[in-house]
Structure 1
């Protein structure tokens, strides 16, 4: 059974039972992505790491030639 068929079946059952309709598949995907990003930023701050720009900072350190050599 595909996700669309399952959604239609759940919607039909909810309608027959007088319950509120179920959300469409993928309706909250971007909200989940935003919440995950915020959680990772929060975890970084709690752990004492910078919350933003960590990848750029790491790449800059890795790509910058060492002047002490």
Structure 2
């Protein structure tokens, strides 16, 4: 399996933390030296291991923001 390269360009925020110290974070991440995308996933405390997540480009993030703003929470 090919190694996945990543670089967290900006930590936008932490949504939650598990009892084991893993955090669910929204970051701007460059995957395999490509243009950074918004990324939402779980990370271990050292950012060496990660859970499954989603990546969003600028337009997708704008749509998600609109959807969340329109929710009645």
Which structure would you say has the larger Rg? 1
TM bracket (short chain):
under 0.3
Q: Which has the higher strand share?
A: 2
TM norm structure 1: 0.23
Taking structure 2 as the reference length, what is the TM-score of the superposition? 0.22
- Which structure has more relative contact order (CA 8 Å, sep 6+)? It is 2
Specify which structure has the higher proportion of helix.
1
